[in-house]
Structure 1
Amino acid sequence: MHTASSGMQAQSQRLKIIAENIAGKDSVATDPSYDPYLKKKIFFKSVYDKNLKANVVKVFREDRDYKNIPVRYEPNHPAANAEGYVKYPNVDIIIETADRLEADSSYIANLQVANASKSLLKSTLTMIEK
């Protein structure tokens, strides 16, 4: 149950990052010396919890993605550099949507495992009472 719970917490954090990415997909800097919104990435790892005697999922780190920053030639834009190019967010709404669907599915799967564990525990306690 604890492993499933840690998976749900990890997917909740992942969904939060995805929501932030989607919200920032149109955020362009107002000055050429600044970057636009840069996509956030989240990394997980499996950690053995000695108290639970089980593996749990933990957020390893969060980071910004500095790769594939699209630029457009817009010389009149306030964020245009000396050559007339403006940097735009590197958020791909299709990828974010696919990631959201995957995170939702993972969250639901972990929820089902937690509910099954809870049901088994309840059945065990009922048998003990008899």
Structure 2
Amino acid sequence: MTNELATTLRVAESGLRAQSLRMRVVAENLANQHSLGTTPGADPYRRRMVTFGVTVDRNNGARLVNAGRIVADDTAFGRAFEPGNPAADSQGYVLRPNVNGLIESADMRLAQRGYEANISVIEAARSITSRTLELLK
């Protein structure tokens, strides 16, 4: 395998790992978009996000995607008037998670497309390798 092909596969692999983590975090957000606190005034589920960065592979100079930390989204919680809810405060308000299902769905779709693009790169590299081997026979 040539150095360029190995570098291409390494870059695609890093993209797959990053997008896979991103999809898992988005799925967790969607699963918890209705998770309230368990006691009056307690915080509900807080949306999480994945940070991304770039690292350089010292062996070949390739720029790799690095899924960094998972951080909490510090946007404000929503509030809803639900005086009968066990999580309601003294005025009858319940804090709602800061998760917006539409934003999470769009983020999931973007992560899926990124994942699929990296799979396509790996499949193309595999195809090139197979054709090269056939020509060498």
TM-score of the superposed pair, with normalisation by structure 1: 0.89
Aligned pair count reads: 129
The correspondence for 1:95, drawn from 84, 103, 109, is: 103
The correspondence for 1:30, drawn from 33, 38, 53, is: 38
Cα deviation, residue 122, structure 1 = 3.0
The correspondence for 2:81, drawn from 50, 73, 76, is: 73
CA offsets, 1:49-96, max 9 Å, x none? Answer: 113431111112111112131011223322222332210111111111
Cα deviation, residue 28, structure 1 = 0.3
Moved more, 87-96 or 51-60: 51-60
Q: Gaps (5+ residues) in structure 1?
A: none
In the alignment, residue 67 of structure 2 is paired with which amino acid? V
1:13 to 2:21 alignment: yes
Cα deviation, residue 34, structure 1 = 2.4
Cα deviation, residue 13, structure 1 = 0.4
Percent identity of the aligned residues? 38
| RMSD after superposition | 1.6
Residue correspondence of structure 1 range 44-83 to structure 2 within 5 A: 44-83=52-91
TM-score of the superposed pair, with normalisation by structure 2: 0.85
Moved over 4 A (4+): none
